[in-house]
A = this chain, B = another copy of it.
Amino acid sequence: MRILVLGGDGYLGWPTALHLSDRGHQVGIADSFVRRQYDHELGVRSLVPIEPLAVRVRVWQELTGQRIDTFVGDLTDAQFTTELLHAFRPEAIVHFAEQRSAPYSMIDRRHAVYTQSNNIVGTLNLLYAIAETDPDIHLVKLGTMGEYGTPNIDIEEGWLTVQHNGRSDRVLYPKRPGSFYHLSKVHDSHNIEFACRVWGLRATDLNQGVVYGQQTAQTARDDRLATRFDYDAVFGTVLNRFVILAALGRPLTVYGDGGQTRGLIDIRDTAECIRLAAEHPPARGEFRVFNQMTESMSVLDIAKLVADLHPNVVEVEHLDNPRVEAESHYYKVTHTGLVDLGLRPHLLSDTLLTSLYAIADRYRDRADLTALRPNVNWRRPVSSGLGREETTGAGTDDRTAGGG
């Protein structure tokens, strides 16, 4: 199958591209490398060194004989997007190519506007390019469990059958997201559902949980195939951050009570979920939604799990929560769609944590303690000025106390 991975140079795009290539698919990667630019902007870097995309695909071809085509450009450039589809002629498109950090979107007005424009316009251009090039193309779009927020009712997979005043309808699951980034994904979902309904496109919207882990069977074959490992307060995800803190012997910093429950997923399962979704497309006109997560856990429980691996060394510390979110809430999620397609989840285990700890330990000298501290505050709208310098640059004092 010809599969195009948009954002295929990123944390998950890269291992997903390799997993698909390993399974015999003809893979193309498109990327603008803006994710690497964010590192320079924020003064942080991946804990694990990563090679340029050109090196990555060369090494993969040397090891496996599999070629991966690469395309450099930005989806907000409509001409690039259309030409990309004409050139590669994909049967499925896996769309990771969005700004994906909630704190980044909350730095200031400029970052909020950038996140929403970039994500919405890129996806709109893509929908038009698909409709024009080949409406049969299956769009596999990455969303996030954070779109739902924390409703007091069970979270279903994208759709909800509602009974109201004696009548019934199947409606898009009502969402109440917690950042301008999460909102951009909700906007995308609405736009994509419309394109399916009106133009007969087919799409799978994946509401992904918090991803942890850094290695897959493919990336582990050569150091030069490694994917990113982000531990900073803007792009790092919670479990990966805790492992670094533990490796450095620092307290695990939990926002508030830590009662926030999150859906989690192993990086290997992410790649596999996307393979399953791509190989089993929905019918034309269908907007299909899966909740791409395998288990739920509170942030405090995640911290305790990591801390228990290092008894007497690692403590859990509570910080003022920079986000506005419920710290104690109901959370029950349906996530059977991908299991029905054949997913056999890797659940969080000591084995995984130990290997992740080994990676963190190996590269501990690259870790920057200041990057671990939360430095974006949800309660403080920054309308003007160089928000980047004021709120996220290294070497300023404008930080929430505590941290790494």
Contact = CB atoms under 8 A, between A and B. Distances in A.
Nearest to A171: B174
Interface stretch (A88-96, A310-318, A375-383, A395-403): A375-383
A128 B197 CA distance: 34
B109 A78 contact: yes
A363 interface: no
Interface stretch (A39-47, A111-119, A220-228, A264-272): A111-119
A143 to B, nearest CB: 14
A64 interface: no
A320 interface: no
Chain A interface size, under 10 / 10 to 19 / 20 to 34 / 35 or more: 35 or more
Interface stretch (A51-59, A175-183, A292-300, A337-345): A175-183
Contacts of A169: 151-153
Interface stretch (A8-16, A18-26, A186-194, A250-258): A186-194
A199 B381 contact: yes
A128 B153 contact: no
Contacts of A124: 109, 112-113, 116, 180
A160 interface: yes
B191 A174 contact: no
Contact of A121 (B117, B125, B129, B198): B117
Most chain-B Cβ atoms within 10 A of its Cβ — which of A129, A187, A324? Answer: A187
A154 B173 CA distance: 16
Given A113-B125, A172-B175, A190-B183, A167 B330 contact: yes
Nearest to A193: B176
A173 B174 contact: yes
B384 A82 contact: yes
Contacts of A177: 190, 194
Interface of A: 78-79, 82, 109-110, 112-113, 116-117, 120-121, 124-125, 127-129, 131-132, 151-154, 160, 162-165, 167-169, 171-180, 183, 186-187, 190-191, 193-194, 197-199, 324, 330, 378-379, 381-384
Given A117-B117, A117-B120, A198-B324, 5 more contacts: A153-B169, A171-B176, A172-B174, A172-B176, A178-B194
